[in-house]
Structure 1
Amino acid sequence: MEHYPIPYAICRVWLEEVFASTGLHWQISPLGEWQITDASGMLLATITPPLLFQNQNILHWEHLPTHPPNTLILLLEAGGTAGLAYLEEGAMVQHKIIRRYTVRKKQGKAQLNHLKTRGKSKAGSRVRLAETILFFEDINQKLLEWEVAPQASQIWYSATPPVWHRLFQAKAAPPFTVQDPRLHKIPLDLPTPTLEVLGQVSDFLLQTKLQIHRPQHLPTLSLLHTPALVQPGFQFDDSDTEGFDAD
């Protein structure tokens, strides 16, 4: 069996070539996978759809959208770095990295509730708390400035619960609510947000996993030999709910 992690756009080109041949059929597995069979029902290929297309009951390959849905990506790190991106038809048309001084340089601990417990008289603690407040306001102001949230079909985010809920407590509220049905958590354990990390997350959300069970019955495409877009070990345990440490 041959496995190919490929972008959605390449997968769709391949499907057009596959179904140019007669006698092949498209079906949805009980797990939501896209399957290609021959006239006898023999399974030729299985396609795990991108996260942006999961839970969509696409009854025929021709019903697949030409382009992925518009998507907003938010990566929020407790240490005071955020990565924002907006994907329009699969292309990153907006991106921003936001940084604020919210941690002690030597200890690297986040500053959210520290002044509620101790250290109220320390100038450094007051500065970091002020920077923490500005950090979330900067994020929401940028989202409002972009004016893309209403056009986004999906919103994918990465943040610990304390960080995520703090976003909605900022003076300038985000352009969506915490109960917005478009919200989805990114199932990755991510490093500090950078433009490169935003690109990796974008590729991950658009990645299609193709398994060819019987290559001799299907056309080949040179573009299928694309390197994996997400490095092994990038996955994380969904049970990770670690919050802030006080310094």
Structure 2
Amino acid sequence: MGEKPVNLYEVPYKVLFQEVRHRYPNYTYDFKKHVIILHDENREALGHIRLPLHLSIDDQLTITNEETLVVYLSIESGKAALCVRKGKHNLYHTTFSAYMTRKKQGVSQIKYLNKKGKSRAGSRVRLAATVDFFERINTTLLEIFDKHEIQRIALNCNTTLIPYLHQSKVACPFDKQDPRLYKIPLHIPQS
């Protein structure tokens, strides 16, 4: 049986959490996914409530902070967007672009390397642009992390690009296992 999404946007958080504690006393809060999982009396999962990232709660569903500082980073081949939000307010936003995609084939040079070589001049240009692309992203991230105390990091990035983010000459300010890291659970077609 598939779950149907229900929009609870209009329900105040305190009322929602009170209802969850009352109706589903066997609930669990998953910090990594930032969801409340609703269980019946037999501990069978009934569904979940996905929470906004700017809201911090504890295991007893008590709101600890409604103004959480979150970095949103969305990366795709040749395009990236970076945003810093405190609560519902946008503090910083920027985009990055680079020539990383083979124009005629529409394939990223990184993915193309798995099939063919990299000896042509165009390939070298795209690979150099890839290195520069991730260095610029990491430089901006370092500046943000130096200026702000970040509580959550929301990341949307293809698995083939993650090594480039973490193995750049400019070190990424967070690692792959950072407890603040949150994988954005939807596909974003264009960063």
**TM-score scaled by length of structure 2:** 0.72
- Report how far residue 149 of structure 1 moved: 7.9
Question: How far apart, CA to CA, are the structure 2 residues paired with 1:48 and 1:64?
Answer: 15
Q: Tell me, which stretches of 5 or more residues in structure 2 are unaligned? A: 1-5, 29-35, 39-46
Q: Is the 8 A contact 2:20 2:27 kept in 1?
A: no
Please give the secondary structure, in 2, of the residue aligned with 1:112.
helix
The answer for the alignment partner of 2:51 in structure 1 is: 50
Identity of paired residues, percent? 30
Equivalent residues in 2 for 1:1-247 (5 A)?
Answer: 3-6=6-9, 11-12=12-13, 15=15, 26-27=21-22, 29-32=25-28, 33=36, 48-52=49-53, 56-59=58-61, 63-65=62-64, 67-77=66-76, 79-112=77-110, 114=112, 117-120=116-119, 122-147=120-145, 151-193=149-191
Question: How far apart, CA to CA, are the structure 2 residues paired with 1:49 and 1:86?
Answer: 20
Highest RCO, 1 vs 2 (Cα 8 Å, sep ≥ 6): 1
- Report how far residue 47 of structure 1 moved: 8.7
- Report how far residue 76 of structure 1 moved: 0.9
Q: Is the 8 A contact 1:74 1:82 kept in 2?
A: yes
Please give the secondary structure, in 1, of the residue aligned with 2:104.
coil
Q: Is the 8 A contact 1:115 1:126 kept in 2?
A: no
Structure number, greater radius of gyration:
1
Please give the secondary structure, in 1, of the residue aligned with 2:7.
strand
Question: How far apart, CA to CA, are the structure 2 residues paired with 1:119 and 1:34?
Answer: 48
- Report how far residue 103 of structure 1 moved: 0.6
Distance 1:70 1:29, change over 3 A: farther
Distance 1:146 1:160, change over 3 A: same
Question: How far apart, CA to CA, are the structure 2 residues paired with 1:178 and 1:97?
Answer: 22
Q: Is the 8 A contact 1:72 1:149 kept in 2?
A: no
Q: Is the 8 A contact 2:68 2:86 kept in 1?
A: yes
In proportion to residue count, which structure has more strand?
2
Please give the secondary structure, in 1, of the residue aligned with 2:133.
helix
Please give the secondary structure, in 2, of the residue aligned with 1:98.
strand
The answer for the alignment partner of 2:41 in structure 1 is: none
Q: Tell me, which stretches of 5 or more residues in structure 1 are unaligned? A: 36-45, 194-247
Count how many residue pairs are aligned between Structure 1 and Structure 2.
Answer: 167
Distance 1:173 1:15, change over 3 A: same
Distance 1:30 1:148, change over 3 A: farther
**TM-score scaled by length of structure 1:** 0.57
